[in-house]
Structure 1
Amino acid sequence: MDIWHTLQTRLQKTWGYSDFRPLQREIIQCLLTGQDALILLPTGGGKSLCFQLPALLQQGLTLVISPLVALMENQVQELRDRQLPAASYHSETPKWLKKRTLHQLEKQTLRLLYLSPETLLSPTIWDYLIQPQIRINGLILDEAHCLVQWGETFRPAYRRLGTVRPALLHHKPPGTEIPIAAFTATADPQGKNTICRVLQLRKPRLFTQSPYRANLSLKVQNVWTPRGRKQRLFQFVQQQGNSSGLVYVRSRQDSETLSQWFTAQGYPTLSYHGGYEAKERREIEQQWLGGKVPVIVCTSAFGMGINKPDVRWVAHFSPPLLLTEYLQEVGRGGRDGKMSDTLTLVSDRTGWLNPEDQQRDRFFHNTLRQQYRQAQQIVQKLPPEGDLTQLEGIKDAAMALSLLHSAKLLVWLDPFHFQVKPGNVKQALDRSYQQQQEHYQQLRHYLRTSQCRWQFLMAAFGFQPDTAFRCGHCDNCSGAKRT
């Protein structure tokens, strides 16, 4: 009773909430008792509070592994605004702030430290964290779906995270426990298994809520020409008035050219992608968050974890590759619980007049196939056991190790040393590649389905709604035309 009184008091005093949302109390209790956990809550479901609050009530440090600088900075700034001991450490952190953070780490005055997987495993941070006197209460993997989406090719450091706990415990006093909790809004059954396996979770407690959001209206519309695609998007945006919204595109070039086109039509927007300098990205974010510019034309680099409650619409100029990406991105609408419209524009299946979607898909899949072929070649250069320093001269070695780990041909002995397992490399990688292809088919099936879109999404993410379920507000339920 005493601990719950303390939690309730801190919740009201620090965050201004009168009570916990569904499952928050149970998740916090799980983390306070040192159990591993996998938590799936819808976007805007209050995931951050679940690990921030217990971290602030304990002596010692909680490490938060986060995928994007913008996401880290957004959460840390909110904590600092509340006078809470949190910091982030990444490639864009100024030198003076890095020095101060390392000093705070050594003096153990921090309660939350936000890091990317790559920074966590960098010599500077790792050498601090393994010091026996540095008390670590837990590891939090925020936006854990990134391990599944990016871990094989784009961000291979994710695949090494499973050995972080045993490696840290090796340097800590006997009896030390470091629980791990993974948080995400989107993980299908296969994704959940991958997260648990890669992180080596120990009998994790599973907390899940259906991804269904009654305030999100989902619509997919076929477009026949590049000009028709632009016009339909512009018409949709005009219908939203001056309300805040996001337009997602698949490339940096599309982000810039589409934003310029909107501005030329008399509707000023800003583009956003990972190619901009950090300062410029922060300025764009602040203009949008502050309502100075209502619309951002962005790649997937924008929006994850950014807390803007009044996003009234989300549009996909072109569909993403994965169903998890789609659900993440549309989920950024309506965090305040009010209605939010979404629209995804899709080329017709033939692509005769508008081949953009098919061309992008082919480019991506050809690139992915080439990466698997590179992995087959690189494995021939690997010793049976080795460490990463031995591979510094081999291009794409880290990606190859990640693909081999995914294909169960490699084990990480610790975050820096690996062992190659015997087996038919070509056969195992071909099987892994085929599984990836099947995963990408999910989104295509969603775009073409005639059933209730929310019913499709719930089933895809492991929830089985009643067969008679209809959301009543997607295009398939409402009878809105798709062409």
Structure 2
Amino acid sequence: MLDSQPLDLESARYALKQFWGYDQFRPPQEDVVSCLLAGQDALVLLPTGAGKSICFQLPALLRPGLTLVVSPLVSLMENQVQELRQRQIKAALLHSQLSPQLRSQTLDQLRRLDLLYLSPESLLSSTLWPRLCSLNIGYLIIDEAHCISQWGVSFRPVYRRLGTVRSILQQGQDPIPVAAFTATATPTVQQEIQTVLQLQRPRTFRVSPYRANLNLRVQVTCSSAHRRRQVLKLIQRQGQSSGLIYTRSRRDSEALVDWLRRQRVRSVAYHAGLPPERRRQIEADWLTATMPVVVCTSAFGMGINKPDCRWICHFHAPLSVAAYVQEIGRAGRDGLRSQTLLLVSEPTGWLDPQDQQQQRYFAQQRRLQQQQAQRLVTQLPAQGTLTALQKSMPQAEMVLSMLHSTGQLRWIDPFRYVMTANAAPRPQKTDRSTMKSFIRTRHCRWRWILGYFGFASATFRCGHCDRCRTRAG
């Protein structure tokens, strides 16, 4: 923290120049910083590359106390902490992959840090939570807040418990502002983020996700072989430039890399099944262009700053429009023209059924989880603790998270719950139909995306997506 600095914009501009070397903020960074310095909650939606991180990193230097930054991925935390340390800002991270020695060192330094990056699981761990409750916390920041909606039910259920964190940490202290940051959130997801995090009269900052330098193209494929050939054509057209190919599964990523290598394309597979050291090495190789092509699952790329990524290919359609926009946003962060390609099966699925097969599989998995949660409702005490429940029910956190998402349960604090009397389950939303609508639209693809995220314009045409170019031709 800067010594003896008042919480005002003059101090913020000084810090911006001192630590980041910038003479002025980019819109709407100054407004977001001003909001946080005033102690207000905020919901901030800025497109990839728009400078979200400065909006909370800078106030953390001016406000007394430790700023907690809840982040979903280790690579994202490591990337940001490394950059902060290079700027001589006192930052550290905690995650499950740290060695016991590094973890112990970080815990001993908590009172001397400006920012601590950590996963939601680490935040509520038995070793860290008691320590945090004894510290002065300046801000609670939820980075990549769309994960609350995208992952908060079954994959990362701990996200549903974050709403009660503030009330416990600020007992006997000044109110702790909470701010949620993301690049993509529909109006419905924005409301879900506000509800889950219990934001108090938050100021909302929204910037259009439109990226004028990204060319969007959807290509229909009629077979697995045709799909692979389209990937190869894209890579060959891009020369030696760096890019990412997103697949839906580990098996798909490894199989595609095997095929690309036989075509003499230098590439590597990246997924959560790899050892942590191997994942870090792949990230480093891609950032330095030592390995230009990475075939990956959605675990790769979030928050990694590689300005000259020139293309993104989706080997399979993502499960949601939000995931699609997040992932294509990793291209062209330097503002230069970049290409995106989304490969989809022909609509009938007769010639290339893999898209429909995968969609049915994921839909079935969701239904099974929901059915399991409803069956277990009768076995749950009307109120209790997660820790006690997990002793007899290994899947307890997932069940409680799903019940919370449907309005049947309320968290008293991060560890204690109470069932909501007479609450009928709310139906859970899906994004399958909207992804299909995007693929099949005959209008400008960017216009469709803008409308989906609440920036509707009946006359907008980007002029450079496949739909606009077809009409122009």
What is the distance in 1 between the residues matched to 2:394 and 2:371?
13
Q: CA deviation at 1:395?
A: 3.0
SS in 2 for 1:218: strand
SS in 2 for 1:123: coil
Structure-2 residue corresponding to 1:458: 450
**Which runs of 4 or more aligned residues in structure 1 lie more than 6 Å from their structure 2 counterparts after TM superposition?**
none
Q: CA deviation at 1:37?
A: 0.3
Q: CA deviation at 1:152?
A: 1.0
Structure-1 residue corresponding to 2:334: 336
What is the distance in 1 between the residues matched to 2:164 and 2:423?
25
SS in 2 for 1:187: coil
Structure-2 residue corresponding to 1:420: 419
Q: CA deviation at 1:416?
A: 0.4
- Structure 1 residue 4 corresponds to structure 2 residue 9: yes
- Higher mean Cα deviation, 365-374 or 9-18? 9-18
Answer whether contact 2:250 2:273 (CA < 8 A) is retained: yes
Answer whether contact 1:88 1:114 (CA < 8 A) is retained: yes
5 Å matches for 1:99-114? Answer: 99-105=104-110, 108-114=111-117
**Amino acid in structure 2 at the alignment position of 1:377:** R
What is the distance in 2 between the residues matched to 1:370 and 1:266?
42
What is the distance in 2 between the residues matched to 1:14 and 1:42?
23
What is the distance in 2 between the residues matched to 1:196 and 1:460?
19
Structure-1 residue corresponding to 2:372: 374
Structure-2 residue corresponding to 1:130: 133
- Structure 1 residue 79 corresponds to structure 2 residue 71: no
**Amino acid in structure 1 at the alignment position of 2:104:** K
What is the distance in 2 between the residues matched to 1:190 and 1:259?
37
5 Å matches for 1:296-335? Answer: 296-335=294-333
Structure-2 residue corresponding to 1:163: 164
Q: 1:260 aligns with which of 258, 278, 299?
A: 258
Answer whether contact 2:268 2:295 (CA < 8 A) is retained: yes
- Higher mean Cα deviation, 17-26 or 364-373? 17-26
What is the distance in 1 between the residues matched to 2:300 and 2:51?
19
Q: CA deviation at 1:5?
A: 3.6
Answer whether contact 1:222 1:348 (CA < 8 A) is retained: yes
Q: Deviations over 1:197-216 (max 9, x none)?
A: 01000000000001111011
SS in 1 for 2:220: strand
What is the distance in 1 between the residues matched to 2:374 and 2:394?
13
5 Å matches for 1:462-481? Answer: 462-465=454-457, 467-479=458-470
What is the distance in 1 between the residues matched to 2:460 and 2:322?
22
Q: CA deviation at 1:349?
A: 1.1
5 Å matches for 1:48-197? Answer: 48-105=53-110, 108-131=111-134, 134-170=135-171, 172-173=172-173, 176-197=174-195
Q: CA deviation at 1:424?
A: 6.4
Q: Deviations over 1:356-399 (max 9, x none)?
A: 10110010000000000110111111001100122112132111
What is the distance in 1 between the residues matched to 2:58 and 2:169?
23
What is the distance in 2 between the residues matched to 1:125 and 1:441?
41
Q: CA deviation at 1:181?
A: 0.2
Structure-1 residue corresponding to 2:40: 35
What is the distance in 2 between the residues matched to 1:241 and 1:19?
37
TM-score by length of 1: 0.94
- Structure 1 residue 440 corresponds to structure 2 residue 432: yes
Q: CA deviation at 1:146?
A: 0.4
Structure-2 residue corresponding to 1:232: 230
Structure-2 residue corresponding to 1:291: 289
SS in 2 for 1:341: strand
Q: Deviations over 1:61-107 (max 9, x none)?
A: 000000011111110111112221000011011111111111111xx
What is the distance in 2 between the residues matched to 1:128 and 1:148?
28
Q: CA deviation at 1:16?
A: 2.3
What is the distance in 2 between the residues matched to 1:385 and 1:6?
47
**Amino acid in structure 2 at the alignment position of 1:136:** I
What is the distance in 1 between the residues matched to 2:44 and 2:342?
28
Q: Go from structure 1 to structure 2 and tell me whether the alpha carbon gap of 1:395 and 1:480 turns closer, same or farther (over 3 Å shift).
A: farther
- Structure 1 residue 347 corresponds to structure 2 residue 338: no
Answer whether contact 1:378 1:397 (CA < 8 A) is retained: no
Q: CA deviation at 1:58?
A: 2.4
In the comparison of the two structures, how many residue pairs are matched? 466
**Amino acid in structure 2 at the alignment position of 1:154:** F
Instruction: Show structure 1 runs of 5+ residues with no match.
Output: none
Answer whether contact 1:156 1:399 (CA < 8 A) is retained: yes
**Amino acid in structure 1 at the alignment position of 2:445:** R
Q: CA deviation at 1:18?
A: 2.7
Q: CA deviation at 1:480?
A: 8.0
Answer whether contact 2:409 2:417 (CA < 8 A) is retained: yes
Q: CA deviation at 1:122?
A: 0.7
Answer whether contact 1:309 1:335 (CA < 8 A) is retained: yes
Q: Deviations over 1:330-370 (max 9, x none)?
A: 00011111111100000011111111101100100000000
Structure-2 residue corresponding to 1:251: 249
SS in 1 for 2:112: coil
What is the distance in 2 between the residues matched to 1:262 and 1:17?
42
What is the distance in 2 between the residues matched to 1:13 and 1:242?
37
Q: CA deviation at 1:274?
A: 0.7
What is the distance in 1 between the residues matched to 2:37 and 2:310?
36
Percent of paired sites with the same residue = 52
Answer whether contact 1:250 1:320 (CA < 8 A) is retained: yes
Answer whether contact 1:37 1:204 (CA < 8 A) is retained: yes
SS in 1 for 2:248: coil
What is the distance in 2 between the residues matched to 1:50 and 1:188?
21
SS in 2 for 1:414: coil
Q: Deviations over 1:255-301 (max 9, x none)?
A: 11111211110111011001111111000000000111111100000
Superposed CA RMSD in Å reads 1.4
What is the distance in 2 between the residues matched to 1:310 and 1:57?
33
Q: Go from structure 1 to structure 2 and tell me whether the alpha carbon gap of 1:424 and 1:57 turns closer, same or farther (over 3 Å shift).
A: closer
- Higher mean Cα deviation, 333-342 or 439-448? 439-448
Q: CA deviation at 1:252?
A: 0.5
**Amino acid in structure 2 at the alignment position of 1:118:** E
Instruction: Show structure 2 runs of 5+ residues with no match.
Output: none
TM-score by length of 2: 0.96
What is the distance in 1 between the residues matched to 2:257 and 2:233?
15
Answer whether contact 1:406 1:432 (CA < 8 A) is retained: no
Structure-1 residue corresponding to 2:272: 274
